[in-house]
Structures are given as structure tokens and as C-alpha cells.
Chains A and B, each alone.
Chain A
């Protein structure tokens, strides 16, 4: 059996894990690093439940080989809480009832954060297209879009304050 040793940074921490060459980053994050907030909805890049950032770029971790993470920076939903405080997006998702079952939520949060990092003041259409890679079957997206709009507004206000 052949394998690789991967040295990477996850949510700011240096992490090392070993895995078979063909293992996906999704499986490695879940089964070897224990980051179970990264979800699998399809394994084929179609649902976005496994969304993470790789060097700041939004990717489906089910489509990335774990070996490709060597020397790179990974961001997952577990890294959104900063200084013991929920990220404004997380607060907003709760207060706007933007989750029902919640299985899609980690992926949406990572994708929404990646959008707001790039574009702090997105239009509704921009939000809808930025989140079009994430499937939610429960909400009809209404409250998700509103939660992102609200978080964006709060983050802008906090910044200008």
C-alpha cells in the first residue's frame, strides 16, 4: 500500500496527516483530521456541502486530492469562529432561520464568506450566483440570501464604525 504524508495549514494550525495517494481531501479532512463539519452530499462536485477554501479559493473538497493540499492553506467551517465569537454570517444564519436541517449550512457559510471576502456589498443576484454551487433542499434559499445580505450589511457597518 502506498501513501503520502501531507503537511498543510488548516484554519491557521499546522497539520500533518498520512493517507493513500488517491484519497480525496474531503475524506482526509473528515476521517483523518476529524473535521466533520465538512459534509459529503454527493462526492461529485455538484452540491457544495464539502466547500472549503484552498489558499483562499473556494473549492469542493471532494474534487481535490488530499495530496494536493501539501504546503497549502485550508479553511473550513470550523475556522469561522474567531476569538470565541461566531462570525457575523453564523450569527445571521441563526437569527434569520437560514437553516432547517443544517446539512448544507457549513458549505453555504464557507461559500458566503468567500463571496463577502471578495465583494463586501453584493447585489441579490450576485449572492444568488455566488451560492449557486451549493444545494439546499430545505429552505428554498430565501432565508439564506437574506441572512447573507444582513451579514454583509453588518460587516460593512462594523468596518466603517
Chain B
């Protein structure tokens, strides 16, 4: 699709080209350094002892034997990580999540840690730590946790958002509600109503690189942390506060990051590594095992929800209600609230109400995972949408098109829509050849839509011009998947120079002002925006320098196609000056040439996607195979189309895994039964087809180039698209994700028993 430049009014020279990423060579030769790839002289190996209980009082911890083991240099428990004065709320929970205080709240909760001269000694030391546990009643299921007789995990937790304020603590942290109109009146207007309940199991982000860091606290209390993170500045602020350090005295350097997807926005064992280093007075490297990653770092919510949709015979959605119960793990979060905000965003529904519950359980603290909370809500809503379309006899795409949100419309969660792409993605799906391709027996096609907000946030960038006219752009967002290339393109575009003349550098916390996390698809959006403004700021300096070189007023100098030009006939004898010319003279015209920008990048621009999926089901085994998959998404403007496509494909693949296989399985004892890649099965190469993509470009008026965040929306539609495809393939409607072979087989058997009656609840 040709770029619509009606908002931005620009044609681009290098933006939109598929250049090579600058960090590619290091990453294909094994030279790129990730979290586990740094070392310091005299470093120790850190390891963590974790609770084998889902919930237990820690009566005593005896570390004396471990401390006495030769080669052990430090053992820490919560006693070594006191709560700094004034620490409260989420930060306090983060500290307690990194090291249990008095109670272990989930299987895998850290209770102690050691630093020793090598891994073998560290492992042995862990075995010598004696923890006296008193097991307590536990609850891992989100619905069970909401029951009045459920064990109450925190006696200080009272449900917020309800009136009157509850008299007793419970596991329900908060209730939130968003909506429009009057749903009772809306449902009264409806000719057809579909009401269904759904459940989804917790999944893990599944980044291939485990959490890893190298902590180094010096005797004077200052320190540094090398860590795989999506946000070195936030990690610095959080870790410094948890350890009672001055923020400026902790320098955090982000390593190359081996995948994060939201899971590396939260601090996990880093404070423990710092506490070990502080106590041992030596650098400590702490790398989680894969089992620890599963047991103790961020899964998503497990959910349970009731969705009710009503439409008139002519296909107008008139009412919708969702009640969504989201597990938060051991500490309260905002996941149910996010589900409310995303649930009905695709559609214009005059009367709707989304209610969310955030519920604590004896599971690891829930973390963000790509468009957090949206995929589950979309599974419910988009499955019900298909059933509703069928009930009124309308094509599912036409039904969605008829009700799609529009520019100027009121969203159910607050904002009035600007230019948005839901309609365009649906039209592209309707017209896509994939929709007309033939299907064989036991094969079915499904589609679904998805929405994500995207965020902007605090950003700061520097642009420095070298003496030879090459440019270094320094940013504070990390490169999770090719953003160096995109940001290099942006700087080159603004300055009017070749991409090859720009080098992009990721700053540590000592070299640049604060940058928020690389999350919410903000990396290229917000650092891109700061890069544009930093480049424009540099151009001002370049014009001044050119004016000085020529001895003419700066107002007479313009910047065009990478050159300073003197305008006006009186200057027609002055040949243009290139960036190189001006840079070469910079020592004599005022010193180094640089531009800066600090911005709170607002206006991230929401994004919508529609996916099409073909699936084949083996009716004998319940096994499934994704045959064909197409992603259509609005990118606003694709800076580097390869990496935009890559985000679409990667998100879709994660969604497919979630839909079909991935789940946290807890036993009766509240312990995680599958903390490894063998039993937590993510899609492998032979599980998937090529994933077709179609990038739409409906410019975001909130960005100078029209860019929208692109990283997250693609994980939202797959759960429902697959559920819908499955139902079209074999006539059973799945209400429980993952739609794994045993669950499909069970649904098929029940369906057969009912003599191919109406679709059954699985």
C-alpha cells in the first residue's frame, strides 16, 4: 500500500528502505555480548535458593553451614536486604518478590542466595542452607482464589474500587470498570445474545536468554550493574531504591538483550546479585537457570472470564458485557484493568461494560508479556463475535466491518479515536487471496482482530557529529529487534545523509538522561521522535556554523539535502557546505557539533490488526497443524519494513504457541510441573508455516513521520483466530486455552456423543 502522507506531508528518501542492521555482524559471529557474557576480575558465581512450597511460613533460616563452606564468600537472606525507609507499594513488593520475607509466596520464590568462587561450590552451599518451613494453605487457580473460603494470601490486601470498602482482606486486589451507555437497555434491544465463559492458562514470554547480570558494588557504596534488561534507567532507579543507594552511584549498562517481550521490564534477581556483591565485596555474576526463569520470573495472568454480546438481526452490536478475572501472581498488579481497557476497543458498541478483577494467587508475580492482558480478552470477545455472526447469519468479516470503531468515535475506555486502522485491516482481510483459498477435509479458516494502545514516555537522545562528518546517535532505549537500524535511518533522513554515515549507540545510565523502559512498543516510536528532534537541533547548530564560516547571518542559511546553502542572490557565489565540510572546521567555529532532545513522547498512536489462520485438525488425536497464516496490521509508517514484518511474524508465532500448547501446569501441591522447554512447548520451526504479512500505513498524527508502535498488537488476535478456525474445521467451539490435543480430543468426543449436536463447551 502506498504511504498516505496526508498528515505528514512528506516523501522519504531512506525511511522505508531495508538496510542492514549495524549490530548484525557481531550477532552472526558470536561477538555480541549478552547478559551472561561479561566478566570482571575476581568475580564470584551467585546462585539462589528457592522455595519448594507454594505457600509457607519461613520459621528460621540457618546459613551457618553454608557460610562455613570453603569458597563461599557471602550468603544473603531477607535480613541482608532490609526495607529502606519510605519504600512502599509496588517497589516494596518488588523487593519482597526478589527475596522472601518471612513467607514464601509461591513455588520458586527466592529465600536465600550465595556467592561462591565457582558454580559447584555455590550449588553445594545452597544444599547446606537449612530452611525451616511451615507449609500454609495455598491457592493457584484464579477462580478458586476469589472464593470466600480461599486462603487469604495477604492480610493487608483489601479490594479497591468497590463501594463500600470491604471489611475483610481478600485475594481480590482491585475491581475496575470501563464502559459506555446502558447495557440493560442495550441487551433489551438485541435480537440475538451470546453468553459464554472462557479460561486461559498462564504462559511465559519464553525469551531464549535467561535473566543474567553482573553486579559490582564497591566498598565506597557505589556500584555498577551489567544486565540484560529492557530498561537500564528504570533498573537503575529500582535497584538503587531497593538497596538504599543513591541513584547516581549505580551505573547500569544494558547488555545485548536475548529477547524480553515485557519480561525484562521487571527487576527479578538483580537486587539479590547486588546484595551478594555488597556483602562479599566482590563482583557477582548471577545467571538464572531455565527452570528458575519459569518458576520465578514473569508469567502472564491465568484468566477466567464471562463475555456477553448482543446484536440486532441486521448485524448491529448493541450491547456487550465482559467480566474478566485475571491472576496477578503473588502481588497485586493492573492486569485485569488492562484487559478491560483493551476488550472492546475494536468495535463501536453504544452500551458496553468491561469489569476487571485483579486477583493474587500463589504463583510468581505476573509480568508484562507483549500487549499484556489483551490476548486473553480478545480470545473471549473475538470467539463470541464469531458465534454471534453465525447466529445472525452474517459473514464474520462483514459483521466486524459493520461494527468497527471509527475516527471520531468514542472508545469504551476513554479516548476519542483519531485516525485508526481497524476498518482498513478488515477490508484488507476481506480482499486477501488467503480468504478465498480452498480448504480440505478437517481444515478450517478463522480470523480475529486485535488492539493495543502503544505508549510513548520519557525519552532522551544525543546526536554527535564527528570531525569527519560521521554521526553518532546515542539513545537510551535498548535494541530488542533491529531498532538501531530504524533509528539510524531516521537520523539519516533528517540530516539528509546516507544511512552508512550514522552509527547508533545504546547508552548506559551514566551517559544519557533518563529513558523509560523499552516497552509498550515505544522503542522506535519514542527514540525515533527524540532522534528526529535531536537531528533538527543539530541542524540549527550546523546552520550557525555555516553562517560563521561564510560570515553571513544565520537566517540566510538553509539546510537542504544534507548541505548548508546560502539563500538569496547576494550569496549566489557561496557553494553549499556539506556536513563533512562544516564538521572539519568545527574546532575553529565553536567546538564539537551536537544536538540533544528530551521529550515525553505523547501520542503513541493505537494500533489494530486482523489475522487469518487456516488450521487442520486430526480428529483421531486432536493434533493440530497451522497451514497458513496472514497478519494484517497498521504500522502508521514502517521505518524498516523487514523489522516491522519481523514483529508481526514473531508476535503471531507466540500467539500460536499460546493458543495451541503453552501453559503453566500446577499440581495439587501448588508446584509448577513443567518448568522447562521440553514440557512447556513453544513452537519450533517445523510447527509453523511461513507467516504472511501485510503492512498498512495509516499515519499516526502524533508522530512527525506517522509512526505507530508495532511490536505488540500481533500477539492479540491469534488465540481467537485459531479458536475460530478450529471451530470451522471440526465444528467444536473451544473455550479453554491452550487448545491442546487432549482438550480438543475431549471436545470432539463430547461432540460425537451428542451426535453432532450444537457446538459444545470444552
* A46 x B210 contact (CB < 8 A): no
Q: Which parts of B602-658 form the interface with A (CB within 8 Å)?
A: 642-643, 645-646, 649-654
Nearest-neighbor residue (CB-CB) of A141 within chain B: B685
* B36 x A40 contact (CB < 8 A): yes
Report how far A80 CA is from B30 CA in the complex, Å.
Answer: 10
* B28 x A139 contact (CB < 8 A): no
**Contact residues in B for A76 (Cβ distance below 8 Å):** 30
* A39 x B646 contact (CB < 8 A): no
Interface: A95 (CB within 8 A): yes
**Contact residues in B for A102 (Cβ distance below 8 Å):** 23, 27-28, 32, 256, 258
* B208 x A137 contact (CB < 8 A): yes
Binding site for B on A (CB under 8 A): 20, 22, 27, 35-44, 46-47, 49, 76-78, 80-81, 86, 90, 93-97, 99-106, 109, 125, 127-129, 131-146
Report how far A43 CA is from B30 CA in the complex, Å.
Answer: 18
Report how far A128 CA is from B688 CA in the complex, Å.
Answer: 9
**Contact residues in B for A109 (Cβ distance below 8 Å):** 28
Q: Mark B20-49, 1 if CB is under 8 A from A, else 0.
A: 110111011111111011000000000000
Interface: B548 (CB within 8 A): no
* A93 x B646 contact (CB < 8 A): no
Q: Per a CB cutoff under 8 Å, which of B31, B208, B481, B649 touches A37?
A: B31
Report how far A27 CA is from B289 CA in the complex, Å.
Answer: 13
**With A100-B482, A138-B650 as contacts: A46 and B18 at CB distance below 8 Å:** no
**With A20-B120, A103-B208, A128-B686 as contacts: A138 and B646 at CB distance below 8 Å:** yes
Nearest-neighbor residue (CB-CB) of B45 within chain A: A31
Interface: B437 (CB within 8 A): no
**Contact residues in B for A100 (Cβ distance below 8 Å):** 259, 480-482, 643, 646, 650
Nearest-neighbor residue (CB-CB) of A133 within chain B: B684
Interface of A is mostly: loop
* B24 x A137 contact (CB < 8 A): no
Nearest-neighbor residue (CB-CB) of A148 within chain B: B685
Interface: B691 (CB within 8 A): yes
Nearest-neighbor residue (CB-CB) of B209 within chain A: A103
Q: Per a CB cutoff under 8 Å, which of B25, B650, B682 touches A139?
A: B650
Count residues of chain B with CB under 8 A from any CB of chain A: 58
**Contact residues in A for B688 (Cβ distance below 8 Å):** 128, 140-142
22 A-B residue pairs with CB within 8 Å:
A20-B120, A40-B210, A44-B678, A47-B208, A47-B290, A80-B29, A99-B24, A100-B259, A100-B480, A100-B482, A100-B646, A100-B650, A102-B28, A103-B256, A137-B207, A137-B654, A140-B649, A140-B654, A141-B653, A143-B642, A145-B685, A145-B690
**With A39-B258, A140-B649, A145-B685 as contacts: A49 and B30 at CB distance below 8 Å:** no
Can you list the 3 inter-chain pairs with the closest CB atoms, starting with the nearest? A37-B30, A103-B258, A140-B653
* B24 x A41 contact (CB < 8 A): no
In the assembled complex, how far is the CB of residue B663 from the closest CB belonging to chain A, in whole angstroms? 16
* B206 x A142 contact (CB < 8 A): no
* A137 x B261 contact (CB < 8 A): yes
* B259 x A103 contact (CB < 8 A): yes
* A136 x B208 contact (CB < 8 A): yes
Interface centre among B18, B24, B208, B260 (most CB of A within 10 A): B208
In the assembled complex, how far is the CB of residue B676 from the closest CB belonging to chain A, in whole angstroms? 6
In the assembled complex, how far is the CB of residue A68 from the closest CB belonging to chain B, in whole angstroms? 19
* A97 x B643 contact (CB < 8 A): yes
* B34 x A43 contact (CB < 8 A): no
* B29 x A77 contact (CB < 8 A): yes
* A77 x B30 contact (CB < 8 A): yes
Q: Per a CB cutoff under 8 Å, which of B28, B207, B210 touches A105?
A: B28
Report how far A143 CA is from B34 CA in the complex, Å.
Answer: 22
**Contact residues in B for A97 (Cβ distance below 8 Å):** 18, 21, 482, 642-643, 645-646
* A94 x B481 contact (CB < 8 A): no
Q: Per a CB cutoff under 8 Å, which of A44, A78, A129 touches B29?
A: A78
Report how far A39 CA is from B33 CA in the complex, Å.
Answer: 10
Nearest-neighbor residue (CB-CB) of A45 within chain B: B678
Interface: B257 (CB within 8 A): yes
In the assembled complex, how far is the CB of residue A119 from the closest CB belonging to chain B, in whole angstroms? 15
**Contact residues in A for B683 (Cβ distance below 8 Å):** 140-141
Interface: B7 (CB within 8 A): no
* B290 x A134 contact (CB < 8 A): no
**With A140-B649, A141-B688 as contacts: A46 and B678 at CB distance below 8 Å:** yes
**Contact residues in A for B261 (Cβ distance below 8 Å):** 137
Q: Which parts of B157-212 form the interface with A (CB within 8 Å)?
A: 205-210
**Contact residues in A for B643 (Cβ distance below 8 Å):** 97, 100
* New A-B contacts (18) at CB < 8 Å, excluding given A39-B34, A140-B651: A37-B31, A40-B210, A90-B25, A90-B28, A94-B20, A99-B27, A99-B28, A104-B258, A105-B28, A129-B686, A134-B684, A135-B206, A135-B208, A137-B682, A140-B649, A141-B688, A143-B649, A145-B685
* B685 x A134 contact (CB < 8 A): yes
* A37 x B29 contact (CB < 8 A): yes
Report how far A66 CA is from B220 CA in the complex, Å.
Answer: 40
* B259 x A101 contact (CB < 8 A): yes
Interface: B12 (CB within 8 A): no
**With A90-B29, A109-B28, A143-B646 as contacts: A43 and B21 at CB distance below 8 Å:** no
**With A46-B677, A97-B18 as contacts: A139 and B27 at CB distance below 8 Å:** no
* A42 x B120 contact (CB < 8 A): no
* B676 x A46 contact (CB < 8 A): yes
**Contact residues in B for A77 (Cβ distance below 8 Å):** 28-30
**Contact residues in A for B18 (Cβ distance below 8 Å):** 97
Report how far A131 CA is from B687 CA in the complex, Å.
Answer: 11
**Contact residues in A for B481 (Cβ distance below 8 Å):** 100-101, 138
Nearest-neighbor residue (CB-CB) of B647 within chain A: A100
**Contact residues in B for A39 (Cβ distance below 8 Å):** 34, 208-209, 258
**Contact residues in A for B30 (Cβ distance below 8 Å):** 35-38, 76-78, 106
Report how far A24 CA is from B388 CA in the complex, Å.
Answer: 56
In the assembled complex, how far is the CB of residue A47 from the closest CB belonging to chain B, in whole angstroms? 6
Q: Which parts of B673-726 form the interface with A (CB within 8 Å)?
A: 676-678, 682-688, 690-691
* A104 x B208 contact (CB < 8 A): yes
**Contact residues in B for A143 (Cβ distance below 8 Å):** 642, 645-646, 649
* B677 x A36 contact (CB < 8 A): no
Nearest-neighbor residue (CB-CB) of B629 within chain A: A140
Interface centre among B32, B119, B652 (most CB of A within 10 A): B32
* A43 x B290 contact (CB < 8 A): yes
Q: Per a CB cutoff under 8 Å, which of A40, A44, A81 touches B677?
A: A44
Interface centre among A47, A90, A131 (most CB of B within 10 A): A47
Report how far A81 CA is from B683 CA in the complex, Å.
Answer: 30
**Contact residues in A for B290 (Cβ distance below 8 Å):** 41-44, 46-47
Report how far A135 CA is from B290 CA in the complex, Å.
Answer: 13
**Contact residues in B for A146 (Cβ distance below 8 Å):** 690
* A44 x B676 contact (CB < 8 A): yes
Nearest-neighbor residue (CB-CB) of B205 within chain A: A137
**Contact residues in A for B259 (Cβ distance below 8 Å):** 100-101, 103, 137-138
Q: Mark B46-75, 1 if CB is under 8 A from A, else 0.
A: 000000000000000000000000000000
Report how far A81 CA is from B25 CA in the complex, Å.
Answer: 11
Q: Per a CB cutoff under 8 Å, which of B28, B37, B210, B480 touches A101?
A: B480
In the assembled complex, how far is the CB of residue B413 from the closest CB belonging to chain A, in whole angstroms? 29
In the assembled complex, how far is the CB of residue A130 from the closest CB belonging to chain B, in whole angstroms? 8
In the assembled complex, how far is the CB of residue B489 from the closest CB belonging to chain A, in whole angstroms? 13
Q: Mark B89-128, 1 if CB is under 8 A from A, else 0.
A: 0000000000000000000000000000001100000000
* B209 x A101 contact (CB < 8 A): yes
Report how far A78 CA is from B27 CA in the complex, Å.
Answer: 11
